[in-house]
Amino acid sequence: MTAPPDQPRVAVVTGGASGIGLATTDRLRADGFDVVVFDIDVTAPHQSAITTNRGPIREETPAEHGRKFMIAEGGRGVVVCDVTDPDDVQRAVDAVLERFGRIDVLVNNAGITGSPAATVLHETPTEEWDRVHAVNVRGPFLCSRAVLPAMIEQRAGHIITIASVAGLVAFPGRAAYTASKGAAVMLTKSIAVDYAKYGIRANAVCPGMVYTPMTSWRLDQPELREQIEQQIPLGRVARPEEIAEAVAVLASGQLGYLTGHPLVIDGGLSAH
């Protein structure tokens, strides 16, 4: 691969312990980033993102932050962090800055679809609406807000939000998710417009259907999978690595004139 003009170094991936987040973490790591994962689930990152063939882990608990902070060999770290909690997010970002001194890329990946109860609008429980928006909208808001001062100081940075093609066209029977992803797309554009003057870019990635732990309950049902794949012109769902590939290309700085853009990776789903 062509060397990007200025190689960034430190990336934070929220929800980086599974699915698209894990694939992104692996890919950015392979591209030479120091990657810190923010994940709410301490067991998942232990088991998958960190320990697999990556050598010993040191556990650090910086007293002033009060967060568990684990560093694997080669600089990859995990901070246990609830992206919907402002104090938690600030402490996690402070911990990263203290250890690495900068944050070049934030990948707002953590997201949820909501339970099966979060369906068409008039049947959506308020709690489900709030939970989906807390993770999918408040999360990117809090994480972006926390990293922006450092990025402004650096006069560089890239905030990449994993939205969804549901942020551009509605997913049937998924009102809360669709609305939250629409908000994530416009949050991205707002950051792009307001922070371009500091050399900071913001882009969204809008996947269609991807096989991840979040979607496997549907895709593991052969009939449902066939039904879904029939709607996708490329005739298949995506692998998480295919989304990670796009994040990696964005993070590399190669597409330096792209900002405020929702990059659609949906196998043609939203083209018709």
Partner 1 sequence: MPGRLEGKVAVVTGGGSGIGRAAATLFAAEGAAVAVLDRIPEAAQETVDQIEGAEGRALAVTADIVDAAEVQAAFDRAGAELGPVGVLYNNAGVNSSGSILTSTEEDWDRCMAVNVKGTYLCSAAAARTMANNGGGSIVNQGSVASLVGIANFAAYCASKGAVVALTRSMAIDLAASKIRVNVICPGTVYTPLMRPMLTARGGGDEEKGLAMTIAKYPIGRLGTPEDIARVALFLASDESAFMTGSVVTPDGGMTAQ
Residues contributing to the site for partner 1 (CB under 8 A): 1-2, 188-189, 192-193, 196-197, 201, 208, 233-235, 238-239, 242-243, 245-246, 249, 254-261, 263-268, 270-272
Closest separation in Å from C-beta 234 to partner 1: 5
Q: DSSP E strands: which ranges in 146-235?
A: 157-162, 200-207
Cα separation, 225 vs 242, whole angstroms: 19
Cα separation, 131 vs 136, whole angstroms: 9
Among this protein's residues, is 211 annotated catalytic? no
Give the nearer residue to partner 1 in terms of CB position, either 35 or 269: 269
Closest separation in Å from C-beta 235 to partner 1: 7
- The three-class DSSP label of residue 96 is helix
- The single residue of 177, 195, 211, 257 carrying the catalytic annotation is 177
Closest separation in Å from C-beta 253 to partner 1: 10
Closest separation in Å from C-beta 5 to partner 1: 10
Give the nearer residue to partner 1 in terms of CB position, either 106 or 191: 191
Give the nearer residue to partner 1 in terms of CB position, either 135 or 264: 264
Contacts of 260 (CB under 8 A, 6+ apart): 188, 189, 192, 193, 202, 203
Give the nearer residue to partner 1 in terms of CB position, either 101 or 256: 256
Q: What are the backbone dihedrals phi and psi of residue 101, each rounded to the nearest 5 degrees, phi first?
A: 85, -15
Contacts of 35 (CB under 8 A, 6+ apart): 10, 11, 12, 13, 16, 25, 28, 29, 75, 76, 77
Give the nearer residue to partner 1 in terms of CB position, either 103 or 247: 247
Name the DSSP class of 45. Answer: I
Closest separation in Å from C-beta 56 to partner 1: 30
Residue 161: closest CA among 83, 238, 232: 83
Catalytic machinery residues: 177
